[in-house]
Amino acid sequence: MPNNTIWRCIIATMRDVAERAGVSITSVSHFINNSRPISEPLKERIALAMAELDFHPNALARSLRLKQTKSVGIIVPDSSNPFFADVTRSIEKALFTHHYNVILGNSDGDLDRALLYLKVMTERQVDGLIFIDVGASGDVLNTALRSLNIPVILIDRIVPGVEVDYVTVTNTQGGFDATRHLISLGHRRIACLTGPQSLTASMERLTGYRQALKEANITPDENLIYTGNFQFESGYEGARQLLSRSPRPTAIFACNDLMAVGVMRAAAELGFAVPAELSVVGFDDIPLAKFSAPALTTIAQPTEQIGILTANRFLRRMQNQDLPPEQQILETELLIRQTTAPVPTKRG
């Protein structure tokens, strides 16, 4: 028996399912592609026939026919960071209900790796891409995106000069609120531990920090600004350096929660009690923030909403690739927990 006949005997076809379920092949196709409403009884008969025949739709054949793979690439800077994990999970959850699946790429904060992932994902025939910048210039990213010819949504970090859909948050306001909260507690020697200077999210938060100091007539001390990289270790190292300044800061605003946790580790090793002798504020509100001891005061990002808006924008873009680019900016929120307190009466 020739191979293809054997295969035909082994692999049930849509025709077999239709005959088994007593429906048309068209109904089976609409059921598989979710391309037209089908009554519940018919859905049950088709699903039962597919299970009994062990039928699995041929994804490759379907994608060639529909010119869609129903897959989306998401490229994040650090898949181990809970902020990106939460956003990715929210996007995946929203797109899954529309029969899309997600292919995740981790650029590890490396621009060359991020650009390579853009290419690889396109070769994998994803229908669209969701991308978080890792410090690309507008020219570099525009060149890379133009060659893809598929919809791309940037989230979290704006790239000046790149006119695409964005979903981001009020980073400047978040940095302002974090710093103003510390000022309201009487702190004036407030340090800022930023993320990479190549990222707009970092620089916007630093801008908010400077605005709050200016509003309170506090002259910024450039020795109290330390450039980190959004990782635990840079928060730890940055805090050790900042706390060696004289007079030392009595408060540190870290531009993400991982660095804030590193700050608290360094404070503990150096013998500074948080918040009695050192106040700490983070940014993101990752799940760890409320379970750290003491629980971290931080600027919350609405990760669930970021994911939903990103997924919805992607679906609208898939319906109409001629839509003008849209920038959606969600609000951050100051969550006061246990790592901030009035300025210490005596300098430690």
Question: What residues line the site for ligand RIB (CB under 6 A)?
Answer: 81, 83, 156-157, 195, 201, 230, 256, 258, 283-284
Q: How far is CA 69 from CA 63, 121, 122, 277, in A?
A: 5, 12, 11, 56
Q: State the nearest-atom distance from the C-beta of 147 to ligand RIB, in Å.
A: 25
Task: Name the residue nearer to ligand RIB (CB basis): 221 or 333.
Answer: 333
Q: State the nearest-atom distance from the C-beta of 339 to ligand RIB, in Å.
A: 17
Q: State the nearest-atom distance from the C-beta of 2 to ligand RIB, in Å.
A: 57
Q: State the nearest-atom distance from the C-beta of 326 to ligand RIB, in Å.
A: 19
Distance CA 195, CA 203 (A): 8
Task: Name the residue nearer to ligand RIB (CB basis): 32 or 178.
Answer: 178
Q: State the nearest-atom distance from the C-beta of 84 to ligand RIB, in Å.
A: 7
Task: Name the residue nearer to ligand RIB (CB basis): 153 or 341.
Answer: 153
Q: State the nearest-atom distance from the C-beta of 214 to ligand RIB, in Å.
A: 23
Q: What's the chain's Rg over C-alpha atoms?
A: 26
Task: Name the residue nearer to ligand RIB (CB basis): 129 or 201.
Answer: 201
Task: Name the residue nearer to ligand RIB (CB basis): 198 or 211.
Answer: 198
Identity of the residue numbered 333? E
Q: State the nearest-atom distance from the C-beta of 332 to ligand RIB, in Å.
A: 10
Task: Name the residue nearer to ligand RIB (CB basis): 21 or 130.
Answer: 130
Task: Name the residue nearer to ligand RIB (CB basis): 55 or 176.
Answer: 176
Task: Name the residue nearer to ligand RIB (CB basis): 195 or 344.
Answer: 195
CB 280 within 8 Å of CB 218: no
Q: What are phi and psi of 309, to 5 degrees?
A: -60, -40
Q: State the nearest-atom distance from the C-beta of 217 to ligand RIB, in Å.
A: 29
Longest dimension (CA), the chain: 91
